Homo-oligomer: A and B are copies of this chain.
Amino acid sequence: MQMYDLAGADENHRFSPYCWRTRMACAHKGVPLATIPWRFTDKDMLPRGNNGTVPVIVDGDTVIADSWKIAVYLDEHYPDRPLFGCEAARGAALLIKHWTERSLHPLITRMVVRDVWAGLHETDQPYFRETRERRLGKPLEEAVANREETRTRFREALEPLRALLAEQAFVCGRAPAYADYIVFGTLQWPRCVSGFELLDPADPVHAWRQRLLDMYDGLGERAVRHVS
């Protein structure tokens, strides 16, 4: 299986939250995954059936775009070691996905978007700056101007996860599964691009992230980081 994976100036620098979800999902299942570095301005390089973003996986003749659809595909075609477990788990994971993307992503963007830009290949930088500044309505440098304050709000936004971790080791119970990888991917993104540490080392969320970083022979821990 191959995955088109967002890369920075260093082609081994891989930090997309969505690609991290897919990478962890494949490791969970023991499905070997080869990655193809891809950059924002390589739109034409993606196989047919993409929507202009990564991850895109190619499995024989099948092309699947979108990390959520890839997870559903993996459970259908590689049923061992399920990512979801049952329909209700998949349903609830979809709510956790939307919680993650709507409550956590905007706050993370306002802490590290300038660091993301700094790590990109020079061919990607103008595209990234232009599209993100249009979305944010301000220069990247201004968007991250109050990041200590944003971090306080970010840590508050993690409260539901922190409360869960007082009762169990992983979102999915005693062992991690896809709902864990959703939130993990989102935390791996700032960790790979920025020296600005989002989590307090004493936070149970930090310990949970570390447990996931250490899994699958330290797949997450070994990630190349470019932290400015």
Where the two chains meet, the residues of A that have a C-beta atom closer than 8 Å to any C-beta of B are 82, 84-96, 98-99, 102-103, 159-161, 163-164, 167-168, 170-174, 177-179
Contacts A88-B177, A89-B89 given: A95-B167 contact, CB under 8 Å?
no
Which of B82, B95, B159, B171 sits near A179, CB closer than 8 Å?
B95
Contacts A99-B99, A102-B159 given: A164-B85 contact, CB under 8 Å?
no
Contacting pair B160 A91 (CB below 8 A): no
Inter-chain CA distance A177–B90, complex, in Å, is: 12
Inter-chain CA distance A23–B118, complex, in Å, is: 54
Which of B82, B89, B94, B173 sits near A164, CB closer than 8 Å?
B94
Copies of chain A in the complex: 2
Contacting pair A85 B95 (CB below 8 A): no
In the bound complex, residues from chain B placing their C-beta under 8 Å from that of A159 are 98, 102
In the bound complex, residues from chain B placing their C-beta under 8 Å from that of A173 are 87-88, 90-91
In this complex, the member of A92, A95, A168, A172 whose beta carbon has the largest number of chain B beta carbons within 10 angstroms is: A92
Q: How far is the CB of A8 from chain B (nearest CB, A)?
A: 29
Contacting pair B88 A179 (CB below 8 A): yes
Contacting pair B177 A94 (CB below 8 A): no
Q: How far is the CB of A91 from chain B (nearest CB, A)?
A: 4
Contacting pair A179 B94 (CB below 8 A): no
Provide 18 A-B residue pairs closer than 8 Å at the C-beta atoms, listed in order of the A residue. Answer: A84-B88, A85-B85, A85-B89, A86-B89, A87-B172, A88-B172, A88-B178, A90-B173, A91-B170, A92-B93, A92-B179, A94-B164, A98-B161, A98-B163, A98-B164, A102-B160, A103-B103, A103-B160
In the bound complex, residues from chain B placing their C-beta under 8 Å from that of A93 are 88, 92
In the bound complex, residues from chain B placing their C-beta under 8 Å from that of A95 are 92, 96, 160-161, 164, 171, 179
Contacting pair B163 A91 (CB below 8 A): no
Contacting pair A92 B160 (CB below 8 A): no
Inter-chain CA distance A179–B95, complex, in Å, is: 10
Q: How far is the CB of A161 from chain B (nearest CB, A)?
A: 7
In the bound complex, residues from chain B placing their C-beta under 8 Å from that of A170 are 91
